[in-house]
Structure 1
């Protein structure tokens, strides 16, 4: 019931648009994996805003994406100035993959999250590091979902990572979050939890979180519903790993993305 409908007379604009913001001179591949997740989940248009190194990776590996370049080797507050025109086309935004932890990049991310209150944001990776410097940003927006793993959540929540503390964090900060793990848990701002049981060790690889963030944004761009899209994305990525023809030790985020088609086909048959 959560899968977006696809009318036969649709066009690319029907299925929304995602912007992936991140990347740095060191972490060049992360934004690519988020963009890939957005496309494979059915999104019609994917844009990226990254430093040159990441833009090159995206152009060489995902020519369907529109790759904008920032000014330097990492994102800085001045980069916000060029985004309003891009944002006119965007429904959902992924923030953080590969952005790094430069002081100016942290300032950029916090400024970005407060500059476009009408957009849906999925915050992951270095975006979470930036948020740990100012959690008040979360309570000021109902359109942000965060996707930390245990280590990232510990940094945001004074080292506490148990389920009760996770629920208290989401309610207290009026935010929705996915605590990623072997069985990922989503908690909304009211304290309601959803536990995902799909997946295997093929997801225990670098890049899986980037793929998930793009998948959430891709579904949200089609439906406008951030929380339901996150639930669907958790299931979808886990099931893709289970259905993949690649063995668990050999699998990777980019390969698992290619198995999304198997999940769509399975659910269509059901």
Structure 2
């Protein structure tokens, strides 16, 4: 096991953030993957992100993920949802390109042309658990894997992986983002043993990653534990005690954007001196730091009344204070 540790102090406005895992090394590496803003860039270069999710009951989750991907810095975001969710999601923001296809096609072929134009996928926010939806999702993932596309698996897609771990096994560009409860279920399904009540989840997270063929796992909790089976690190960026619904969607959306940036930088040899830090790890740490900083900043204003909408407003300041 290789565990990465260091310390740094970051100041934003009148607030000082001093955490053991707000690393100078981390911040430098994350800055390396961020594409510069130039007048010669064209629309799409900074990221075309796909969100697969959105059902009649859950329309907020794909919106939160999509708008977070855009505000983190992606240029375009496509949301693939059910027909009953499309109009609602469109009404939240004109920035999202919405495709009501999850319940209107019998297989994943309809996604083929669109998927090939995307840079990364975020699968699961508001997806629901309909068998037909899962079937289409499975085929889309297989297509994305053929294209070697980075994929974030969150929420209901993790429920599907419980019984179909082969979908992600050995795919090194996959990142799973379970909370503690989702992680416990996934651990039991894949490892075959109850996790029990543990204060330290470091070893179980690493063990599950190894069992899945070194798929990257971000176990969300008091501290976010991140491992690809070889590397193990944690994000201890200061957050808040408020646990409103939708924070995980902000994480998955921003992670989709950062995954594209990290792999693009890696492929262009921008990360030649990144030592043992791999693209998935850099992107995961960056997204976790960003989400926690948004949480902290919004909580200072709204305390118990804070919602994820308040956090999204803070993405620009959080991003700038961390990485600019």
Q: Is residue 197 of structure 2 the alignment partner of residue 197 of structure 1?
A: no
Q: Is residue 136 of structure 2 the alignment partner of residue 131 of structure 1?
A: no
1:50 alignment partner, one of 70, 78, 81? 81
Length-normalised TM-score, structure 2? 0.76
SS in 2 for 1:93: strand
* Distance in 1 separating the partners of 2:128 and 2:37: 40
Aligned position for 1:221: 260
More displaced stretch, 85-94 vs 155-164: 155-164
Q: Is residue 297 of structure 2 the alignment partner of residue 232 of structure 1?
A: no
Aligned position for 1:176: 216
Deviation (angstroms), 1:256: 0.5
2:65 alignment partner, one of 14, 34, 53? 34
1:100 alignment partner, one of 103, 124, 128? 128
Aligned position for 1:163: 202
Select the structure of larger CA radius of gyration. Answer: 2
Q: Is residue 53 of structure 2 the alignment partner of residue 14 of structure 1?
A: no
Deviation (angstroms), 1:139: 1.7
Deviation (angstroms), 1:136: 2.0
Q: Displaced runs of 4+ in structure 1, greater than 4 A?
A: none
Length-normalised TM-score, structure 1? 0.91
Q: Is residue 225 of structure 2 the alignment partner of residue 185 of structure 1?
A: yes
Deviation (angstroms), 1:26: 1.3
Aligned position for 1:63: 94
Deviation (angstroms), 1:115: 2.2
Pairs aligned (count): 264
* Distance in 2 separating the partners of 1:71 and 1:45: 20
Q: Is residue 127 of structure 2 the alignment partner of residue 88 of structure 1?
A: no
SS in 1 for 2:121: strand
SS in 1 for 2:44: helix
The verdict on how the C-alpha distance between 1:267 and 1:21 changes in structure 2, with shifts beyond 3 A counting, is same
Unaligned runs of 5+ in 1: none
Deviation (angstroms), 1:183: 1.1
* Distance in 2 separating the partners of 1:255 and 1:7: 26
Conservation of the 8 A alpha-carbon contact between 2:205 and 2:225: no
Conservation of the 8 A alpha-carbon contact between 1:34 and 1:97: yes
**1:239-265 deviations in whole A, cap 9, x for unaligned?**
111122532311112220110111233
Deviation (angstroms), 1:172: 1.6
Conservation of the 8 A alpha-carbon contact between 1:147 and 1:179: yes
* Distance in 2 separating the partners of 1:268 and 1:126: 31
* Distance in 2 separating the partners of 1:222 and 1:163: 27
Aligned position for 1:266: 321
Conservation of the 8 A alpha-carbon contact between 2:226 and 2:232: yes
Conservation of the 8 A alpha-carbon contact between 2:102 and 2:136: no
2:151 alignment partner, one of 121, 129, 138? 121
CA RMSD of aligned residues (A): 1.9
More displaced stretch, 31-40 vs 5-14: 5-14
